[in-house]
């Protein structure tokens, strides 16, 4: 019988390289593919020529096929353009989540379909559980590297076709395996930040090149002007540092942003507190859930208790407002049970 | 690569150790190899042996022609990136093409003026095989821009057209060895008449001060052997390959619905079968063809190896959605009827798989 085929997304980093190596060891017939997503300036992530070279050389050393798929058009349409538009309308997007939603686990999966691959694999740090035919995204073994938050949107049709070989091990163990089998990327630094934004220019330059940044007035609760900010688009609800208030008053948070008139209101933390998570969308991984859940609303942020009643998520203790556009993910134990996007 | 060219390169590397720029007996032997190659390449291009400059390939020859003449440069939108980038570097003007891929004459007239110093128009397009009517275009250039020199990138043309005739209107002609069974990384720029050329790599008096750097003697020897073999067989090969190409194209058009041939067949060299498939992505198609042992391309690849949408098809007005389903099957000296048979099985099978599983 011929070996089961699997298409592995190879970024050129250590996690996906080890994922591919483990699958080869397990007897799969592995084909590596690197996604070319971004043609502009970048110094991190999955798009540079040197990363593709790394991926190609890892594939060579594992003696597996390697291809490059150019999904640049899709990446612009589904990730970069909405990212810019979100900031321009006062929202705080998570482009990694949109990339997973539209590119890695939709576009790539459809390409895999066309090419005849039933299975795909990535180097994400998350696990997939299965109970009675129901699949769930679950936290990876390495809490510090866990990526279940950015993969929360995967549904049954994606989870049953996905393999995450490094999700059940720590990052240290992944590097140890890479060293043991002599992978050239064993000590390559982890990728960080947004892959299409260069470290030198940052978000400000990236957005400034694409939209007109609007200077904002900062007012207190009484409406008194207390300062100005260079761009209303770059301010996020809950922010307290870096908005240029005299004396760097750390007790004042951004409590409201009026985008249309470019007015930022600052105030004490209490003004930020809300009882209900304002969700624009909420999708369940399987059946809708009632009762206690744990809620995460940023990639490596706090996980706080809440209770779901008929689709409404209420914090157990009042919490700071979640910025509109952020993904809110609901967990029970280690498992994702649902998620959505925060609204205003 | 041609066996005789490989043998000659190996012999030269083993037996000829001289540097052609030296003056002793061993150096003179190496110099003779280069001079003999100059004669063969001069004959291939239809220029005097002394007007052949050896380069590291087509890209260097193109850059030497464009940078070496300099000034106000005009080129077509379907040029190889070697020409496009060199022309853009000098702030050159780009002329569009018609839907059949031939340079738009009105556009050319508009782009030219008395200051134009160089016009670069490729003889045969590398993606589509479409031939430019160089003599007709040269007549327009002479009239509109009497001072302008004409350069032609004939890299893709050399194996199929007699350059001494088809490129006779050009003052500068680029070729590359690997397109006619010679080595990669060796090429030449031929000059017709008196063209002042500034060296682009300085620091050596080689090639009469027009291209500094030690000669790649073995590569140049291989280039010579390949050129001599090519000149002896070109006409017969063009007929044989043309028949294979016609059978391949006709077979694909008959077997695959939603398949469009690019350009007009009588305007193209015999070696390229270029088609666009509706509702198919080239990338997925190439993946399946590679698994069927057919190594094909779509447009050009960037440094990362990703396929970029073709600037040539875009210039011809092919809609992007159709261009993303393009396939270029190249035939050559070693192609056989059996290869065509294999492609006529593999391509329709791959298209059918992709369409039934919904590649889009």
Residues 308-327 of B with CB under 8 A from A: 308
Nearest by CB: A36 against B306, B357, B358 = B306
pLDDT value at A195 more than 90: no
Closest Cα of chain A to B292: distance in Å?
13
Helix residue spans in A183-299 (DSSP H): 202-208
Q: Which residues of A touch B306 (CB under 8 A)?
A: 36, 52, 68-70, 72
Is A47 an annotated catalytic residue? no
Least confident of A47-51, A105-109, B95-99, B128-132: A47-51
Q: Which residues of A touch B307 (CB under 8 A)?
A: 68, 70
8 Å CB contact of B359 and A111: yes
Instruction: For residue B283, give every residue at least 6 positions away whose Cβ sits within 8 Å of its Cβ, in sequence order, or none.
Output: A67, A69, A70, A111, B298, B307
Q: Is the ipTM of this complex over 0.95?
A: no
C-alpha–C-alpha distance, residues A137 and A129, integer Å: 7
Query: For B219-230, how does the pLDDT look when each residue is reduced to its tens digit (9 = 90+)?
Result: 999 999 999 999
Q: Closest-CA residue in chain A for B359? A: A114
pLDDT category at A46 given cuts 50, 70, 90 is very low
Q: Which residues of B touch A34 (CB under 8 A)?
A: 304-305
Residues 38-97 of A with CB under 8 A from B: 47-49, 52, 56, 67-70, 72
H or E segment at A263?
strand A263-267
- Between the alpha carbon of residue B122 and those of residues A91, B75, B119, B152, the distances in Å are 50, 9, 10, 5
pLDDT value at position A238?
A: 85
C-alpha–C-alpha distance, residues A229 and B77, integer Å: 46
Q: Which residues of A touch B303 (CB under 8 A)?
A: 49
The angle subtended at Cα A17 by Cα A336 and Cα B284, nearest 5°, is 85
Residue B85 half-sphere exposure, CB side, CA atoms within 13 Å? Answer: 8
For chain B, which residues score pLDDT lower than 50? 359
Q: Which residues of A touch B359 (CB under 8 A)?
A: 110-111, 114
Residue from A57, A70, A107 to probe the interface with B (highest B Cβ count within 10 Å) = A70
Q: Quick check: B303 and A49 in contact, CB under 8 A?
A: yes
pLDDT value at position A3?
A: 84
**Percent of chain A at pLDDT above 70?**
94
Q: Closest-CA residue in chain A for B321? A: A73
Q: Which residues of B touch A70 (CB under 8 A)?
A: 283, 306-308
C-alpha dihedral (A169, A173, A179, A180), degrees to nearest 10? -80
8 Å CB contact of A70 and B308: yes
Closest Cα of chain B to A321: distance in Å?
40
8 Å CB contact of A114 and B358: yes
Mean pLDDT value of segment A64-69: 95
Query: For A126-183, how does the pLDDT look when each residue is reduced to its tens digit (9 = 90+)?
Result: 999 999 999 999 999 999 999 999 999 999 999 999 999 999 999 999 999 999 999 9
pLDDT value at position A39?
A: 76
pLDDT value at position A62?
A: 97
Mean pLDDT value of segment A40-52: 64
C-alpha–C-alpha distance, residues A150 and A298, integer Å: 9
Closest Cα of chain B to A71: distance in Å?
9
pLDDT value at position A198?
A: 82
Size of interface A-B (CB pairs under 8 A): 48
pLDDT value at position B205?
A: 87
Mean pLDDT value of segment A193-214: 88
Is A99 an annotated catalytic residue? yes
C-alpha–C-alpha distance, residues B187 and A152, integer Å: 55
Mean pLDDT value of segment A49-76: 93
pLDDT value at position B56?
A: 98
Residues 91-130 of A with CB under 8 A from B: 110-111, 113-116
Q: Which residues of B touch A115 (CB under 8 A)?
A: 284, 287-288
C-alpha–C-alpha distance, residues A303 and A296, integer Å: 5
Closest Cα of chain A to B251: distance in Å?
24
Helices A14-25 and A49-62: crossing angle in degrees, nearest 10, is 20
Is B356 near chain A, with CB under 8 Å? Answer: no
C-alpha–C-alpha distance, residues A258 and A247, integer Å: 24
Nearest by CB: B353 against A48, A52, A116 = A116
Q: Closest-CA residue in chain A for B304? A: A49
8 Å CB contact of A115 and B287: yes
pLDDT value at A45 more than 50: no
Is B293 near chain A, with CB under 8 Å? Answer: no
Q: Which of A225, A205, A248, A255 is nearest to A87 (CA)?
A: A205
Closest Cα of chain B to A50: distance in Å?
8
8 Å CB contact of B304 and A68: yes
8 Å CB contact of B306 and A67: no
H or E segment at B135?
helix B134-144
Distance of CA B168 to the CA centre of its chain: 17
């Amino acid at each position: 019988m011929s070996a089961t085929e699997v298409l592995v997304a190879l970024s050129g980093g250590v996690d996906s390289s080890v994922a591919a190596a483990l699958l080869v060891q397990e007897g799969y017939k592995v084909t590596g593919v690197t996604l070319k997503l971004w043609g502009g300036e970048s110094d991190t992530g999955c798009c540079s020529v040197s990363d593709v070279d790394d991926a190609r050389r890892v594939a060579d050393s594992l003696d597996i096929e390697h291809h490059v798929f150019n999904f640049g058009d899709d990446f612009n349409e589904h990730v970069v353009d909405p990212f810019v538009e979100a900031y321009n309308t006062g929202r705080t997007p998570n482009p990694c989540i949109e990339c997973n939603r539209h590119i890695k686990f939709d576009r790539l999966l459809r390409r895999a379909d066309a090419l005849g691959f039933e299975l795909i694999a990535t180097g994400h740090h998350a696990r997939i559980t299965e109970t009675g035919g129901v699949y769930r995204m679950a936290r990876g073994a390495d809490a510090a590297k866990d990526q279940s938050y950015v993969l929360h949107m995967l549904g049954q049709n994606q989870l049953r076709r996905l393999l995450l070989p490094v999700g059940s091990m720590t990052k240290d163990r992944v590097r140890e395996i890479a060293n043991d089998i002599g992978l050239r990327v064993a000590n390559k630094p982890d990728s960080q930040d947004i892959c299409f934004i260069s470290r030198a220019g940052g978000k400000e330059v990236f957005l400034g090149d694409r939209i007109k940044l609007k200077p904002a007035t900062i007012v207190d609760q009484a409406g008194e002007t207390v300062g100005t900010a260079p761009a209303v688009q770059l301010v996020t609800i809950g922010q307290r540092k870096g908005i240029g208030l005299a004396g760097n008053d750390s007790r004042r948070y951004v409590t409201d942003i009026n985008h249309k008139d470019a007015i930022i209101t600052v105030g004490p933390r209490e003004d930020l507190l809300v009882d209900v998570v304002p969700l624009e969308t909420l999708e369940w991984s399987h059946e809708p859930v009632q009762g206690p859940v744990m809620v995460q609303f940023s990639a490596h942020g706090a996980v706080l208790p809440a209770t779901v009643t008929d689709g409404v998520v209420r914090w157990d203790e009042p919490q700071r407002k979640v910025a509109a556009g952020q993904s809110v993910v609901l967990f029970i134990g280690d498992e994702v049970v649902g998620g959505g996007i925060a609204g205003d | 690569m041609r066996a005789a060219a490989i043998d000659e390169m190996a012999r030269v590397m083993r037996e000829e150790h001289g540097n052609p720029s030296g003056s002793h007996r061993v150096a003179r032997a190496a110099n003779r190899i280069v001079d003999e190659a100059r004669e063969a390449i001069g004959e291939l291009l239809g220029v005097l042996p002394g007007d052949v400059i050896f380069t590291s390939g087509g890209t260097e020859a193109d850059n030497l022609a464009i940078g070496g003449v300099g000034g106000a440069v005009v080129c077509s939108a379907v040029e190889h990136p070697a020409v496009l980038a060199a022309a853009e570097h000098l702030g050159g003007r780009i002329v569009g093409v018609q839907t059949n891929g031939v340079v738009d004459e009105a556009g050319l007239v508009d782009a030219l003026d008395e200051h134009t110093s160089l016009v670069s128009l490729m003889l045969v397009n590398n993606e589509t095989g479409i031939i430019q009517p160089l003599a007709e275009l040269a007549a327009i250039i002479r009239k509109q821009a009497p001072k302008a020199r004409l350069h032609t990138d004939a890299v893709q043309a050399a194996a199929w057209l007699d350059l001494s005739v088809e490129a006779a209107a050009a003052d500068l002609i680029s070729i590359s060895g690997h397109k006619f069974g010679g080595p990669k990384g060796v090429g030449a720029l031929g000059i017709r008449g008196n063209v002042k050329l500034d060296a682009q790599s300085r620091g050596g008096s080689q090639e009469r001060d027009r291209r500094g750097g030690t000669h790649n003697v073995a590569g140049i020897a291989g280039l010579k052997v390949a050129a001599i073999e090519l000149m002896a067989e070109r006409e017969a090969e063009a007929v044989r390959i043309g028949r294979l190409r016609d059978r391949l194209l006709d077979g694909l058009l008959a077997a695959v619905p939603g398949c469009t041939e690019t350009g007009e067949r009588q305007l193209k060299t015999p070696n390229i079968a270029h088609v666009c498939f509706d509702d198919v992505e080239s990338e997925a198609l190439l993946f399946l063809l590679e698994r069927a042992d057919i190594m094909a391309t779509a447009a050009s690849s960037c440094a990362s190896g990703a396929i970029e949408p073709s600037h040539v098809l875009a210039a011809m007005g092919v809609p992007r959605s159709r261009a993303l389903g393009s396939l270029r099957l190249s035939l050559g000296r070693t192609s056989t009827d059996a290869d065509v048979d294999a492609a006529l099985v593999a391509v329709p099978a791959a298209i059918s798989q992709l369409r039934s599983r919904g590649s889009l």
